[in-house]
Structure 1
Amino acid sequence: MAEIALPRLGPLVYLDEEALSVLSGFGVCHVFPKGTVIIREDERQINLYITLSGTLEVITHVNHREVRLATLGEGDCFGEVAIFEPGTASATVRAVEDSQLWYLDVDHLQAFLQEYPHAGCGLILGVNTILSQRLQQANKLIKTSQIVPGFLSVRSRRAAAAPTP
């Protein structure tokens, strides 16, 4: 795999230059032309992607309408859930303009973690920070929208739905 200079941004913020250089060899760098769908909602997804340049949009469909969830740029990542829990993508990611991405799959991530555990801890810490921030944002959205998630118990849903005095 070709080596690329990875930026010390997003999930890579805790890695030093040497670790970034080593990590780059475990992944693939690719330019996705404008309009290209990189991952599609509900399809199998096993990669962590990091945006090196360009702009991407994260979209989903609600009532047969396209809804933009986020716009991603340099240093942003997506697919971070898949490296811990491979499965289907929760949204579609599409290139708004020509975008250069670096990505690695679960197998190459595991190889990196085994060969370079100290640097691997930095990467996992960076990904964990992003996951935590996104969870906090989702919690705020649920709270402000008064959405009651289906995973709550019946008792919790009733309490959440009850009017406050």
Structure 2
Amino acid sequence: MSDPTDNFIRRLPVMAGLDDEAVQFLQGLASEETHAAGSVIVREGAPGDRMYFVRSGRVRVMKAPAVQLAEFGPGDFFGEMSLVESVARSASVIALEPTRVCTLRGVDFYKLYRQRPEQYGIVMLNIARDLARRLRHIDDDFCHVKH
């Protein structure tokens, strides 16, 4: 990453509970990308091998042809489904403004699993909690539309 001293990984809610060694390990594996406003970061149907953490900017998750699923900003993540199941991307993600993201590949998490399985478990539990929160939100929205 561009500035390993900024502790971006440590500040991510999905990394809460990790010890210093695990945070430093993941920070060392992370890479950074910048995307212009309007650019496609992830394309629906493309193979996926990494998840993304928004450092700055905002992104919109879209399902073809034109269904908005979510918007994310700093500290949020997307692309986690490709780590859980090895299938094509289920939606596109578009930068709404100039956006910087940090990425971790599935193989990076596998390396954490091999070296520190208990720390890997913490990350996966945090991801599962966030996914449950997102699903609950979608359920609430769906119920309001039906009534």
Would the aligned equivalents of 1:3 and 1:21 in 2 still touch at CA under 8 Å?
no
Q: Give the corresponding residue for 2:88.
A: 88
Residue in 2 that maps onto 1:97:
97
Give the match for residue 23 of structure 1: 26
Displacement of 1:29: 1.5
Aligned length: 144
The residue type equivalent to 1:13 in the other structure is: A
What is the TM-score normalised by the length of structure 2?
0.84
User: Are 1:52 and 2:55 an aligned pair?
Assistant: yes
Offset of 1:7 from its aligned partner? 4.1
- 1:69 is matched with 69
Instruction: Name the structure 1 match of 2:35.
Output: 32
**Which TM-score applies when normalising by structure 1?**
0.76
State whether residues 33 and 98 of structure 1, in contact with CA within 8 Å, keep that contact through their aligned partners in structure 2. Answer: yes
The CA RMSD over aligned residues, in Å, is 2.2
Q: For 2:145 and 2:30, how far apart are their aligned partners in 1?
A: 39
Deviations 1:40-83 (A, max 9, x none): 11222221111111111112234xxx333222111100011111
More helix by share: 2
> 2:59·2:94 contact (CA, 8 Å) conserved in 1?
yes
Aligned equivalents of 1:144, 1:25: Cα separation in 2: 44
**Unpaired runs of 5+ in structure 1?**
147-165
1:112 Cα offset (Å): 1.5
Residue segments in structure 2 that go unaligned for 5+ positions in a row: none
Contact 2:26 2:108 in 1 (8 A): no
Instruction: Supply the distance in 2 between the matched residues of 1:143 and 1:14 (Cα, whole angstroms).
Output: 34
